Amino acid sequence: MRKKRFFSGIQPTGEIHIGNYLGAIKNWLNLLESGEYEGIISIVDYHAITMPYEKKEMQDRIRKCAATLMACGVNPDNSLLFVQSQVPQHTELSWILTCSSNMGELERMTQYKDKSKGSESIGVGLFSYPILQTADIVLYKAPFVPVGEDQIQHLELAREIVRRFNKRFGKVFPEPKPILGEAKRIMGLDGGSKMSKSLGNSISLTDSGKPLWKKLASAKTDEKRKLRTDPGVPEDCNVYNSYHLYFSSSEDHNKIQEGCTSASMGCVDCKKILLANMEKSLGPIAERYQELMETPQQIDDFLQKSAIKCREIAEETMQEVRQKMGLR
Ligand code: TYM
């Protein structure tokens, strides 16, 4: 049976956080482990240059991102994992799709509005970013896109652009559908906004021991629970909803429900249970990450072989696109 193809991307931020892991990467791994899907996963460096960045750090960020994904379970037997700028067809198709897009629909993107808030001069790259994202997906004719909730609006736009292109030039691309996992939107340690490295409210996937405890200790809990003797409401607590739900067993959930609502357990005790459970789940990933970073050849080989294959697939699509558009 032919496997269904998914495409997904992640920015090389230098620190993949547990929001990326629970919202997207775990979802990729579940699909891959089902045996029904093949994955094409891109480290999207062209997306990362839409904001100011340190040139000398970029290659290190890319390698760390690849090592983290491999440590989570992305491997040459289940996926292609490549760096976006190694496949030039992404930018070629992006221009072509730019000519099938409208300013108004891009102006409505909430991520663009958030990121450009307060800036006097807004980069065109930031504005047209969702078009490049559309090109990323459809270059591989991927019908499925596992992502976190923050990408849904970009996917709706991608479907619209694809419909317009297909109507004008004849059907080339499938309309990509998002696949959401169990954890759609992981909140940050502040409890008030989505976990995001740029907001400084994130927990890295490779954090453990003291640094992890320092972050958990600062995490917002149920704000109504002011004193240790006040009973709390786990459903109103970010630590419970965003982290315990995904890292702790149902036995621990019951223990916390009982302890928190009766005030027999304090927030520090509850966070200590979380620390132990997170270290148990994430410890093997951190270990594997260290091993991979010590043998970077494995990482570079995987990225290079994947890029060769991706260029082949991408070029095949581009030949069809150019021909349909009367460009060749
Ligand atoms: P990026 O790098 O911001 O995030 C990568 C993936 O992690 C998910 N995610 C979250 N999920 C739940 N809770 C959170 N707090 C959280 N933070 C991040 C994101 O939804 C995403 O799935 N534009 C994309 C990258 C991209 C892409 C693509 C994705 C480029 N081309 C094509 C899919 C298909 C981005 O910046 O993701």
Q: Tens of pLDDT along 272-305?
A: 999 999 999 999 999 999 999 999 999 999 999 9
Cα-to-centroid distance, 10 and ligand 1 (Å): 6
Question: Does the CB atom of residue 20 touch ligand 1 within 6 A?
Answer: yes
Question: Does the CB atom of residue 72 touch ligand 1 within 6 A?
Answer: no
pLDDT at residue 1 in the model:
79
Q: Output the residue whose Cα is nearest ligand 1's atom 26.
A: 9
Residues 179 and 51 in one domain: yes
Look up 255 and say whether it is catalytic: no
Q: What is the mean pLDDT of residues 129-134?
A: 98
- The answer to the question of residue 199 being in a domain is no
Residues 252 and 320 in one domain: no
Nearest partner of 11 among 39, 38, 40, 42, judged by Cα: 42
Residues 300 and 277 in one domain: no
Partners of 179 in the β-ladder: 146
Q: Distance between CA 277 and CA 86 in Å, rounded?
A: 38
Which tens digit of pLDDT belongs to each residue from 312-326?
999 999 999 999 999
Mean pLDDT for the chain overall: 96
Residues 149 and 280 in one domain: no
Q: 4: which DSSP letter?
A: E
- The answer to the question of residue 193 being in a domain is no
- The answer to the question of residue 203 being in a domain is no
Among 3, 141, 194, 220, the active-site one is 194
Half-sphere exposure of 220 (CA within 13 A, CB side): 18
Q: What percent of the chain has pLDDT over 70?
A: 100
Which tens digit of pLDDT belongs to each residue from 187-232?
999 999 999 998 999 999 999 999 999 999 999 999 999 899 999 9
Q: Distance between CA 151 and CA 322 in Å, rounded?
A: 28
State the CATH number of the domain containing residue 274: 1.10.240.10
Q: Is the pLDDT of residue 84 over 80?
A: yes
Q: Is the pLDDT of residue 177 over 90?
A: yes
Domain extent for 109? 4-187+295-325
- The answer to the question of residue 201 being in a domain is no
Question: Does the CB atom of residue 274 touch ligand 1 within 6 A?
Answer: no
Residues 240 and 91 in one domain: no
- The answer to the question of residue 194 being in a domain is no
- The answer to the question of residue 204 being in a domain is no
Residues 131 and 243 in one domain: no
Nearest partner of 115 among 130, 103, 127, judged by Cα: 127
Among 3, 141, 184, 197, the active-site one is 197
- The answer to the question of residue 197 being in a domain is no
What is the pTM for the complete model shown? 0.96
Contacts of 195 (CB under 8 A, 6+ apart): 17, 18, 19, 186, 187, 188, 189, 201, 202, 203, 242
Q: How many domains does the chain divide into? A: 2
Residues 299 and 151 in one domain: yes
State the CATH number of the domain containing residue 71: 3.40.50.620
Q: Which atom of ligand 1 is nearest to the CA of 11?
A: 2
Look up 171 and say whether it is catalytic: no
Which SS3 state, helix, strand or coil, does residue 32 take? helix
Q: Distance between CA 89 and CA 39 in Å, rounded?
A: 19
- The answer to the question of residue 274 being in a domain is yes
Residues 124 and 108 in one domain: yes
Residues 65 and 141 in one domain: yes
Q: What is the mean pLDDT of residues 53-67?
A: 97
Residues 312 and 179 in one domain: yes
